[in-house]
Homo-oligomer: A and B are copies of this chain.
Amino acid sequence: MLDKTDQKIIEELTNNGRMTMKELGEKVHLTGQAASSRVARLEDEGILEGYTIKVNKQKIGYSVHCFINIYTRNIHHQPYLSFLDLESEYVLNNYKISGDGCYLLECRFPSNKELDAFLVQLNVHVNYKLSIVINQS
Contacts and interface: CB of A to CB of B under 8 A. Distances in A.
Interface string A101-137: 1001000000000000000000000000111111111
A84 B137 CA distance: 10
A4 interface: no
A14 B51 CA distance: 8
A48 interface: yes
Given A50-B53, A52-B52, A81 B137 contact: yes
Contacts of A16: 50-52
Contacts of A83: none
Contacts of A53: 10, 13-14, 17, 48-52
A132 B101 CA distance: 11
Interface of A: 1-2, 10, 13-18, 45-56, 59-60, 65, 67, 81, 84, 93-101, 104, 129-137
15 contacts: A14-B53, A16-B50, A16-B51, A18-B18, A45-B59, A47-B56, A50-B53, A52-B53, A67-B67, A95-B133, A95-B134, A96-B134, A97-B132, A97-B133, A98-B131
